[in-house]
Amino acid sequence: MALLGAGLEGAGVIVTGAAGGIGEATARALAEAGAQVCALDLPGPALDDLVAALPGRQDHFALPLDLGDTSALDPAVHDAVEHLDRFWGLVHAAAFLQRQSPEEVTEETWDAQLDVNLKATFWLNRAAGELLVARGQGGRIINFTSAAWMTGPMLDSDVYSASKGGVVTMTKGFARRLGAAGITVNAISPGQIETAMQRKQNTPEAMAAVAANCPLGRTGTAAEVAAVAVFLASSHASFVSGATINVSGGLLMY
């Protein structure tokens, strides 16, 4: 359900990882709140189908892009903003996870995760921040980390966890730099959410054990995380910045 008075009607928002999981749920929730969505993900039918199914406005559009290609990020953000009626923000939900023990990690698998999860976060935040500052009407940047930023790695996610710790630090830095321009920068830290990434190289037994340890006794849904992203993008979160919002059902407490 869209937040009444959220101020997102007509707001242009870039959503990365929009073809699946939390990114898809966020793109849909923002569209329901009246935003114009630029859906960014790897090229393919999943991205095209998502854009065609977005509710509300008829001018949502796809931006096919591999976030591992750093040189393409800045021009892609500038191109997207040219096609948005009123650029308001970025929701960077895309991520890449490769479960490996430290002994199995190679430079290739290290780089693949750091490029998407950390390097692309910096480039996207920088480009979006510069364009929002130039526009002069404030804005929102929302990054995604993981509960592992605080707990440390579990189930052979050492590289992924390291990248997500960096996202928290980077989010605080951009929040300080962009705050004077009325731009808030925050991170969302999901716990165990029922998505394809959560199931990747994981066992049903391990997932059930984590769910059992959650005070709510279950895993979360992508829609529940998306609702927090909509809140942070909205006028209701106008004095929230530099925060890492814990969406774990109490699995992580701080």
Tell me: the pLDDT tens digits for 105-129? 999 999 999 999 999 999 999 999 9
DSSP β-bridge partners for residue 13: 37, 89
DSSP β-bridge partners for residue 87: 12
Note the pTM of the prediction, 2 decimals. Answer: 0.93
Domains in the chain: how many in total?
Answer: 1
Report if residue 171 sits inside a domain.
Answer: yes
Q: What is the CATH number of the domain that holds 128?
A: 3.40.50.720
Answer yes or no: are the C-beta atoms of 197 and 21 closer than 8 Å.
yes
Q: pLDDT class for 208, splitting at 50, 70, 90?
A: confident
**Active site residues per annotation:** 160
**Which residue in 192, 91, 109 sits closest to 148, CA to CA?**
192
Q: 50 lies in which domain range?
A: 12-193+222-246
Q: What is the DSSP letter of 176?
A: H
Q: How many CB atoms lie within 10 A of CB 158?
A: 20
Report if residue 152 sits inside a domain.
Answer: yes
Look at residue 1 in the predicted model and tell me its pLDDT: 47
Look at residue 105 in the predicted model and tell me its pLDDT: 97
Tell me: the pLDDT tens digits for 6-42? 899 999 999 999 998 999 999 999 999 999 999 999 9
Mean of the pLDDT values across residues 161-178? 98
